[in-house]
């Protein structure tokens, strides 16, 4: 025992203290900005380093992108992609399976021009298009050739191959782990925040997506200071982007947003 005692001391000294370990990091993206001015500005005013994803051809796209820039919030182009089942109105422009490569290029370029200050792209809906390699490859080629952009797979279907295509194309990417407001029921959203915390604690990081609903805004206004007080680090999603994204991880949350 006496011989082992110095070894125990050495292990104790060499082990990192709590202060020296990195806190779990959480990135929260607020999707679907561009229509409602008040809720868009409320999302931008949330008290943390969040990312906002703005639809490219909505009535208040530029106003909210400018407000996000002034508030220090990171901006994404929330690019509409074709869904398996579409509920609600169509966006003015979206990428669809029947498009040629040049048509995909044109839609992508107009979307990027419409959203100033964007540093990346994530998909709006897309449960059909993200299953198909060729249009996703065309999209990744455009992202790669546009400079320092990255891609976030909103993961609206567990059949998405977006991360695999991004990895092959060399596009920095990350995938959504949790939908906060798949249901706008407060108890459900609180449980999703708990799931987000558990995932970040286990994996070291996690990405969540919410929407500019009044219920979501009220919850996050309460929950974000609590997350910080509990030792989580809230970061823009660019901080969690992988320059060498892995293949699909089946352990991600399979809740799929209703408007996918």
Residue 155 domain flag: yes
Q: Is 17 part of a structural domain of the chain?
A: no
Q: What is the DSSP string of 84-121?
A: SS--SPPPSS-B-TT--HHHHHHHHHHHHHHSTTEEEE
Q: Is residue 177 domain-resident?
A: yes
CA distance linking residue 38 with residue 141, whole number of Å: 35
Per the structure, the complete domain to which residue 209 belongs is given by: 22-240
Average pLDDT over residues 105-113: 98
pLDDT of residue 243: 74
Share of the chain above pLDDT 70, in %: 86
220-247: per-residue pLDDT in tens? 999 999 999 999 999 999 999 987 766 5
Around 5, how many Cα atoms within 13 Å sit in the side-chain half-sphere? 3
Its sign, for the CA torsion 211, 212, 218, 223, is positive
Q: Which CATH number characterizes residue 214's domain?
A: 3.20.20.370
**Domain count across the chain:** 1
Mean pLDDT of 23-49: 98
pTM: 0.88
Residues 135, 18: Cα–Cα separation, whole Å: 46
Question: Greater confidence, 248 or 162?
Answer: 162
> What DSSP letter does each residue of 54-72 carry, written as one string?
E-TTSTTHHHHHHHHHHTT
Is 152 a member of any domain?
yes
Phi, psi for residue 46 in degrees, rounded to 5: -55, 140
The arithmetic mean of pLDDT across residues 3-23, rounded, is 48
Residue 2: inside a domain, yes or no?
A: no
What token pair was written down for 1?
Answer: 């025992």
**Which residue shows structure tokens 């000294």?**
13
Residue 70 belongs to some domain of the structure: yes
In a domain, 219, yes or no: yes
1 occurs within a structural domain? no
Averaged pLDDT for residues 196-211:
98
């Amino acid at each position: 025992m006496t011989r082992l005692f110095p070894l125990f001391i050495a292990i104790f000294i060499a082990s990192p203290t709590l202060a020296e370990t990195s806190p779990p990091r959480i990135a929260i993206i607020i999707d679907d900005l561009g229509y409602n001015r008040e809720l868009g500005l409320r999302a931008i005013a949330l008290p943390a380093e969040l990312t906002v994803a703005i639809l490219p051809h909505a009535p208040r796209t530029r106003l909210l992108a400018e407000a996000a820039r002034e508030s220090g919030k990171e901006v994404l182009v929330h690019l509409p992609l074709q869904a398996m089942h579409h509920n609600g109105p169509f966006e003015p422009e979206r990428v669809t399976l029947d498009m040629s490569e040049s048509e995909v290029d044109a839609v992508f370029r107009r979307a990027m021009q419409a959203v100033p200050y964007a540093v990346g792209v994530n998909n709006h809906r897309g449960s059909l298009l993200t299953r198909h390699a060729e249009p996703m490859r065309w999209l990744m080629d455009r992202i790669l050739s546009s400079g320092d952009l990255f891609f976030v797979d909103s993961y609206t279907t567990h059949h998405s191959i977006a991360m695999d295509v991004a990895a092959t194309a060399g596009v920095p990417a990350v995938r959504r782990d949790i939908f906060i407001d798949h249901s706008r029921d407060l108890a459900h959203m609180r449980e999703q925040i708990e799931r987000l915390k558990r995932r970040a604690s286990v994996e070291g990081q996690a990405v969540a997506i919410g929407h500019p609903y009044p219920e979501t805004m009220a919850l996050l206004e309460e929950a974000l200071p609590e997350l910080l007080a509990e030792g989580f680090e809230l970061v823009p999603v660019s901080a969690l982007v992988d320059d060498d994204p892995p293949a699909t991880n089946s352990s991600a949350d399979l809740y799929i947003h209703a408007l996918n």
